[in-house]
Amino acid sequence: MIPAQAQSFQFSRIVVDGNQRVGDAAVLARAGIAPGQTLTAGQVNAARQNLENSGLFETVSVAAQGSTLLITVTEFPTINRISFEGNRRVDDEALSATVQSQERRVFSPAQAERDAGAIAEAYSTQGRVAARVTPRIIRRTDNRVDLVFEIFEGDVVEVERVSFVGNRVYSDRRLRRVLDTKQAGLFRLLIQSDTLVEDRIEFDKQVLSDFYSSRGYVDFRIVSSNAQLTEERDGFFLTFNVQEGQQFSFGEISVVSELPEVDGDAYQDLIRVRPGVIYSPTLVENEITRLERQGQREGVDFLRVEPRVIRNDRDLTLDVEFVISRGPRVFVERIDIEGNTTTLDRVIRRQFRIAEGDPFNPREIRDAAERIRALNYFGVADVNAREGSTPGQVVIDVDVEEQPTGSLNFGGAFSQDDGFGLLVSFTERNFLGRGQTLGFNFSTAEESEQYGITFIEPAFLGRDVAFGLNLQYSETDSSFANYDTESLVFRPSLTFPISERGRLQLNYSYLANEQLARETVVNGAIVQREIDVGEQVASSIGYTYTYDTREGGLNPNAGVLVEFSQDFSGLGGDAEFIRTRGRVVGQRLAFNEEVTLRASFEAGYLAWNGGTNRTVDRFVLGPNIIRGFEPGGIGPRDLNVPGDDPDPLGGNIFVAARFEAEFPLGLPEELGIRGGLFYDVGNLWDLDSVDLSGGNVVGEGGSFRHVIGFSILWDTAIGPLRLNFSNALKKEEFDREQSFDLTISTTF
């Protein structure tokens, strides 16, 4: 039997026809054949397919004509113009940055389809998942085409409902507050976080896991997440299937040293977390950082702290043993910074607690990366370590991408005290790339005007000391007093940490203010004497101590703020006094974090030694201190005033306490409405060193006022709205009540 043989051809000549931009040699090279080569029928067909797959030709034909092989091609046209039709929500400039096809380049149908998909994806990130994009071409002369993307944008497909399956401890309402994705609400036309974005869902999974782990649920996991389109195809139902597990607390906490020069017992005394505290990985990281920094202060090189966690399922505790050991002897060769076209290198370098030549600490590098990102100067900030010139050295690469750091805000506010107001402010958080803050603000309301300049240097003289400079000028047409005021404040300050959560501010203040008479108002003798004084200058030095555990404390559901300040006036100027003020605020989330409980205590004392003690220098309480009364509505008053408007005189001493609870009202969450109950009690008294002759003063001895009330808090799209309805349980007959108070503010 004779075996079958494939038909073969040998062409002495290959002719290429129809090509204009691509040369004959390039066509033959892409076809993979050459003249004189013996070819089978399969090789001829493969040559045709090679040309079709090259992306250069619209049509390809290969025909044998005796000893000549004729290759006829039609080249793809060049793109004359790219345009978009039907787009209203996304402008042409943004879409042009999305597509890869370019004018005056060869048109590729495959690339045009990919570009159409990229445009559709851009719309889907805005919640328009029904968007359709069709690429079309319009033929022009000289083998050119116009590429047109016809866009049907469709409607926004919102997240109609976010729900959870498997959650027993925390309600859907509480967990929804954690997520970045929100349910479609009343102001859905203004809010973009209620659209379904895949990247946002992945972020939500991470923050949900962080939420549970910070509360001791170490076994928490997200089984699945599902986004289901509604039957009307106009919304999504987003469901997270979770397993919470059991809540664990810290058990026995110990420190073990494997280094002979390190005393583990001494480091044990540095541990802040105690047994019984709800377990949190963040608290473990904080303890590790504290121990390693202590080792650095003691000069122990390459000290490493690793936690060993022992699980006790019987009593739901986690024993943590911090092991101090010696890490590898690796040094930092250098820190390379790239991408900072505006920000100076030193602004980024000062976020590192180490420098070239120091021992390498991976944990410190991660902390530095977080500090760089927290600056919010960069859209992207990546910090990585790689091997240096020798195995014992590493190079730290910092790659950043600058983002705008300036902001121009226009805002509005309304309150019953000051009426409607306009706010205009400009702030540059990275002035000249130096990491400094420079701000200008102008605000005006029916009753007041204010102009100000603020400057902050966060690393004064290269240290963790913030230098601030504030200059403010204000005028008020007071609604609670029968006079106007005018003041100028110049206030430089230095702020620095003195403990892990405590900061101290030292400041100097130059305050020039005066009470101005109104033409149509007749004041009492006391206030008139204060007006006659004219401008009085107070030159003072002072300090403010702040201790704040509300964020990053041992308990994520509770925190406390303590503030204490004193100003000592008498360094020149006209007034001599000591003003002391203190405030303590405690806050806690209760009932599975559905209810916010808050209590605050505040007090002030003015000891006057020289100059004229005027109302503008004394304490005058407003609704921000005790609700239910007008500004200046409580405290001493001069009744010996013509007409029915006695002068409020303020006081040298005040105390106040506020207790409040905020809770859901059971209304649909998308409305953003919560309720609140409050109880305020306060007192304002003492007019020591005040000339009271010619007046009829009441309330100088003081008495406590008690107020209860109900609040409605509404997170609207234009700003937070708060309505307070109050009733004074105990008051004086000369007090000025204010049973309803409304405030709203926003920036746009």
> pLDDT tens across 248-303, in order?
999 999 999 999 888 888 899 899 899 999 999 989 988 998 898 888 888 888 88
Q: Residue 744 has what pLDDT?
A: 63
Q: Which two tokens stand for residue 56?
A: 């250069």
What sign does the dihedral 97-99-101-107 (CA atoms) show?
negative
Lookup result for tokens 């691509």: 22
Q: How confident is the model at residue 554 (pLDDT cuts 50, 70, 90)?
A: low
Say which residues have a Cβ less than 8 Å from residue 362's Cβ, sequence separation at least 6. Answer: 385
Note the pLDDT tens digit of each residue in 5-15. Answer: 456 777 888 88
Strand 466-477 with 483-497, pairing: antiparallel
Instruction: Say which residue, 122 or 730, is predicted with more confidence.
Output: 730
CATH superfamily of 8-75: membrane protein fhac (3.10.20.310)
Q: Which of 247-256, 293-302, 585-594, 686-695 reaches the highest mean pLDDT?
A: 247-256
Contact yes or no for 651/684 (Cβ under 8 A): yes
Q: Residue 514 has what pLDDT?
A: 85
Look at 178-192, 359-373, 437-451 and tell me which has the smallest mean pLDDT: 178-192
Q: How confident is the model at residue 482 (pLDDT cuts 50, 70, 90)?
A: confident
Q: Residue 668 has what pLDDT?
A: 75
Say which residues have a Cβ less than 8 Å from residue 234's Cβ, sequence separation at least 6. Answer: 155, 157, 158
Mean pLDDT of 482-501: 90
Lookup result for tokens 């910090």: 383
Identify the CATH number of the domain defined by range 331-402.
3.10.20.310
Q: How confident is the model at residue 4 (pLDDT cuts 50, 70, 90)?
A: very low
Q: How confident is the model at residue 544 (pLDDT cuts 50, 70, 90)?
A: very high
Segments making up each domain of the chain, as ranges:
8-75, 78-152, 158-243, 249-326, 331-402, 405-477, 497-747
Q: Which two tokens stand for residue 652?
A: 């040298």
Q: Residue 747 has what pLDDT?
A: 46
Smallest Cα–Cα separation from 201: which of 184, 181, 221, 219?
Answer: 181
Q: Residue 719 has what pLDDT?
A: 65
Q: How confident is the model at residue 190 (pLDDT cuts 50, 70, 90)?
A: very low
Q: How confident is the model at residue 447 (pLDDT cuts 50, 70, 90)?
A: low
Instruction: Say which residue, 416 or 545, is predicted with more confidence.
Output: 545
For the chain, give the percent of residues with pLDDT over 90. Answer: 43
Task: Choose the CATH number for 497-747 among 3.30.70.20, 3.40.50.1100, 2.40.160.50, 1.10.490.10.
Answer: 2.40.160.50
Q: Residue 11 has what pLDDT?
A: 80
Note the pLDDT tens digit of each residue in 312-370. Answer: 999 999 999 999 998 888 999 999 999 998 999 999 999 998 888 888 888 888 889 98
The Cα-based distances of 128 to 97, 118, 120 in angstroms read 19, 13, 8
- C-alpha 68/C-alpha 252 separation (Å) is 90
Q: Which amino acid does the sequence have at 426?
A: F
Strand 576-590 with 653-664, pairing: unpaired
Instruction: Say which residue, 186 or 162, is predicted with more confidence.
Output: 162
The Cα-based distances of 4 to 10, 39, 379 in angstroms read 19, 17, 68
Instruction: Say which residue, 67 or 250, is predicted with more confidence.
Output: 250
Q: How confident is the model at residue 246 (pLDDT cuts 50, 70, 90)?
A: very high
Instruction: Say which residue, 163 or 554, is predicted with more confidence.
Output: 163
- C-alpha 651/C-alpha 381 separation (Å) is 52
Helix ranges (DSSP H) in 298-399 = 345-349, 362-374
Q: How confident is the model at residue 307 (pLDDT cuts 50, 70, 90)?
A: very high
Q: Could you name the CATH architecture of 78-152?
A: Roll (3.10)
Q: Residue 31 has what pLDDT?
A: 84
Q: What is the pTM of this model?
A: 0.73
Find the distance separating the first CA and the last CA of the chain, reported in whole Å: 90
Mean pLDDT of 97-121: 89
Mean pLDDT of 441-445: 78
Q: Could you name the CATH architecture of 249-326?
A: Roll (3.10)
Note the pLDDT tens digit of each residue in 378-399. Answer: 988 999 999 888 888 999 999 9
- C-alpha 248/C-alpha 276 separation (Å) is 9
The pLDDT of residue 461 is above 90: no
Q: How many CB atoms lie within 10 A of CB 246?
A: 12
| Mean pLDDT value across the chain | 86
Smallest Cα–Cα separation from 403: which of 419, 429, 379?
Answer: 379
The pLDDT of residue 553 is above 70: no
Q: Residue 412 has what pLDDT?
A: 54
Q: Which of 52-66, 99-113, 696-710 reaches the highest mean pLDDT?
A: 696-710
CATH fold for domain 158-243: Ubiquitin-like (UB roll) (3.10.20)
- C-alpha 489/C-alpha 258 separation (Å) is 57
Q: Residue 185 has what pLDDT?
A: 60
Any bridge partners for residue 255, and if so which? 322
- C-alpha 347/C-alpha 218 separation (Å) is 37
Contact yes or no for 200/182 (Cβ under 8 A): no
- H or E segment to which residue 198 belongs: helix 198-213
Instruction: Say which residue, 742 or 50, is predicted with more confidence.
Output: 50
Q: Which amino acid does the sequence have at 250?
A: F
What sign does the dihedral 179-181-185-190 (CA atoms) show?
positive
